[in-house]
A and B are shown apart, each in its own frame.
Chain A
């Protein structure tokens, strides 16, 4: 697998996460790379999730992917 492509996936995530929107559908992510094979991007996503660079976020019915650093902190009575 191409390390270059993997790096550009992370780079793309950083660029796209500048605004308020931090969570993306897999479908959106594969569309960021129109020239690349969808499956290759999906495999890279799985690797990056294993490496804890990215994280899944799920409502239960739908799944998103986001940079791990933006994953919401555990909420509770003590959190602001």
Chain B
């Protein structure tokens, strides 16, 4: 047997888990581009350095985002990946595809690119990896014909994303799919023509389980929630106990606010202390249902570490009713973006700007009242919310 040209990469195929190396090798049987990708990656492992250069190219005519330019810094060795641009395709909301749409997407990419795709990137888009500059426009034209559009990249509104919500899930408190689609269509200009200080992400989860992790990954997080008492079916509670669930240990003791009590065989919830974390409902879906009045909590400022450390989103509106056409929500997004656009430094995310100028300044600028739910943790100084004139009003 011939000696392998990629001994280092081969090791990554050794584990029990699926390996991207295997995938690239498979693509390499058809595409010289994928073959060169493999070899350049092997060289990177050997040299312990990335061999990609950042691009410049941004997209197709009329667009300032959606294409991410990448070039090899060793085109002498790997001519087939001299240009290896990424195309971000706006995924269908909730990632629902029909198989013919998926096939169509694959066909377009076999025609114009390396054939390698990443389903999906952390922003949500379908990521098409590796094409040349002259293929970008024709590829876009074919994608458009198949009903797809490019997503956001650079200092733009990134492709909004949402959990599958009411499409599959009984816990959905809001129509995450419709909200996400509506926001995407309303803000097309912000997605395709970057004018912000940096990226801005909107994610919608239909309940506090937060399956799109909007609290950690979005500048603007919409998370479905409810008002009113958790509805209890005591008969089903008994059935869970009979089936072997240790309700005291697994449910009550793990309630973060300790607001549940097992009274003999019946469960009691002190709803005023419930933070709507979903734990009890997740464990006993037949016995417990969310309160009847549904809406969403709006949070801002989540981000992963780049210039500064990671931040989780912060509650700014504890409860907002969300019904089409979602004007209140979109209006709030616009006010927030406009404030950030005015005061943010280049490459400063919304959460960092709020940390720098203060929540008090932010709230006044976007016209929101300070409410107790905004206090992130007790004993961090609560006074930050008050303006001198507010204090004068209080202390008569």
CA A26 to CA B154, docked complex, whole Å: 12
Given contacts A38-B341, A60-B54, A77-B76, contact A46 B71 (CB under 8 A): no
Interface string of B330-363 (1 = CB under 8 A from A): 0000000000011011110000000000000000
**Is A33 located at the chain interface by the 8 A CB criterion?**
no
Q: Is the CB of B345 within 8 A of A63?
A: no
Given contacts A58-B64, A58-B194, A77-B79, 12 further A-B contacts (CB under 8 A): A25-B197, A56-B58, A56-B194, A57-B56, A60-B153, A61-B153, A62-B154, A63-B194, A75-B53, A75-B71, A76-B75, A77-B75
**Is A27 located at the chain interface by the 8 A CB criterion?**
yes
Shortest Cβ-Cβ A-B pairs, 7 listed:
A63-B154, A60-B68, A25-B346, A63-B155, A58-B154, A56-B64, A63-B194
Q: Which residues of A sit under 8 angstroms from B59, Cβ to Cβ? A: 56
Q: Which residues of A sit under 8 angstroms from B62, Cβ to Cβ? A: 50
Q: How large is the interface on B (under 10, 10 to 19, 20 to 34, 35 or more residues)?
A: 35 or more
Q: Is the CB of A57 within 8 A of B345?
A: no
**Is A42 located at the chain interface by the 8 A CB criterion?**
yes
Give the dominant DSSP class at A's interface: mixed
Interface residues of B in 28-63 (CB under 8 A from A): 53-59, 62
Q: Is the CB of B65 within 8 A of A58?
A: yes
Q: Is the CB of A28 within 8 A of B64?
A: no
Give, as a whole number of angstroms, the nearest-CB distance from A22 to chain B: 11
**Is B196 located at the chain interface by the 8 A CB criterion?**
yes
Q: A residues touching B (Cβ–Cβ < 8 Å)?
A: 25-28, 38, 42, 45-46, 49-50, 56-63, 71-72, 74-77
**Is B321 located at the chain interface by the 8 A CB criterion?**
no
CA A58 to CA B64, docked complex, whole Å: 8
Q: Which residues of B sit under 8 angstroms from A76, Cβ to Cβ? A: 71, 75, 82-83
Q: Is the CB of B347 within 8 A of A42?
A: no
Instruction: Provide 29 A-B residue pairs closer than 8 Å at the C-beta atoms, listed in order of the A residue.
Output: A25-B347, A26-B194, A26-B195, A27-B345, A28-B346, A46-B193, A49-B64, A56-B58, A56-B59, A56-B64, A56-B154, A56-B194, A57-B58, A58-B56, A58-B64, A58-B68, A59-B55, A59-B154, A60-B54, A60-B55, A62-B198, A62-B347, A63-B58, A74-B83, A75-B53, A75-B75, A75-B82, A76-B75, A76-B82
